Amino acid sequence: MRKFDSFFIGLMLFSMFFGAGNLIFPPFLGAQSGTTFWLAMAGFVLTAVGLPLVVIFAIARVKGGIQAIGNRVHPVFSTVFMVIVYLSIGPFLAIPRNANVAFEMGLMPFMDGPKATIALLVFSVVFFILVYLISLNPTNLERYLGRFITPILLVAIVILCVTGFMQLNGSFQTPTGGYESGAFFKGFLEGYNTMDALATLAFGIVILTAIRQRGVSDDKQLKGYMLKAALIAGILLTVVYVSLGIIGGKMAVTGEFADGTQILSAVSSSLFGQSGTVLIGLIFTLACFTTVVGLTSACGQYFSRLIPKANYKTVVFVTTLIGFTLTNMGLSQILKVSVPFLVIAYPLTIVLIVLTFFHRQFKGSRIVYVSALSFTGVFAVISGLNAFGMKLGLIEKIRTSLPLADVDLEWVVPAVVGALLGVIIAKLSFKREPVLE
């Protein structure tokens, strides 16, 4: 690899991570957390940046990547889990969500209400044609995303944030929206909404492909370049999150906002007038576009390997077609399933990745993985059903009585209990299990 290749691959990874949620949630956190901002932001960064980095470290440690990690539970679990993750962070959730947000922030401000439906259709046609064309050749992703689009995106964000720091005089207000107590845990859960830890499960294959295409075949070197790119992306994400959060905190004094998009629209308009609407639209459109390209390519690479008869270009076409169709259903319908899915998927992902770092301590016993994931899964599903609005009666009472339930982390103790139970069963087992690599 050439001297700056790792840097540009890091920029590519940043651009794939940095989508709609990454823009929306930090300023809203800043506005609501107020004087507890730094505590809340620490929790947010832990799950929005730290957890994705940990996932990349875990993928780099294990030959065969996330598929091999899932195989430690069971090959069927691995395939089913990864298919659900790819479909969810791909065409059925994250891709249409990003495309919708790009439209609402990039074009909607210039549209009259009755014209919005037709405008969305036209916008999404152009948007997904460009996504399809760039995603067709994964070897070009680093060039398009890392060298061209991401620098423009970063410059636009720097202009917005630096101008905001200099001209906004508001101070952090009294915490609201659940940040009054337990601000760290509230921020921790808000970090789920970026979906980056799940996206990392998919992006790992894109990063490895980009590095291998530069002539790197040695496993140790692959891991080194992969981790270097991940650290570059993580540092950039942290700086941007904190900056956007401070902007949101400064804007809170001007009134109440329903979400982060309103905050960013308000601050860009107040700082730059009509030009600010164009600036924030550019930021959202570029951020969402790069994420959709990354997710589309990741789906293409994964499913073309999983299904031998499905070639890469066919999967990319189907992914963009589904994304285009769901985009035109509207953002509100997409977001209805977003939070419940994340509530279910994140605990399973966290526990699976944590166990990877203790793999040798419990000698890779499959029963430990199965037990820990089973206990976690039961309470994660209960929490997800509750987030869907289902009334679970006694089961819900049991859930809310668990430790950490007041901060929506009721799955933690069952996960620990399941892991410890698995260790005990493994030690007492008369038949010695082989160590799973």
Give me the average pLDDT of each 10-residue run along the chain (437 residues): 78 86 91 95 94 86 81 90 84 87 83 75 94 87 80 91 91 90 90 81 77 77 85 94 95 88 90 90 90 90 89 94 86 64 81 90 91 92 80 82 82 93 85 53
Task: Decide if domain 5-338 falls under CATH 1.20.120.430.
Answer: no
For the stretch 1-32, what's the b/e string if a residue is b when 16 or more beta carbons lie within 10 angstroms of its beta carbon? Answer: eeeebbebbbbbbbbbbbbbbbbbbbbbbbbb
| Closest alpha carbon to 179 in 20, 49, 18, 25 | 25
pLDDT value, residue 244? 95
| Closest alpha carbon to 48 in 17, 3, 83, 12 | 17
pLDDT value, residue 337? 63
d(CA 322, CA 318): 6
CA separation (Å) from 1 to 6, 92, 100, 227, 235? Answer: 8, 36, 37, 14, 22
pLDDT value, residue 149? 86
pLDDT value, residue 271? 92
Count other C-beta atoms under 10 Å from residue 128's C-beta: 24
Domain ranges of the chain: 5-338, 358-437
pLDDT value, residue 175? 93
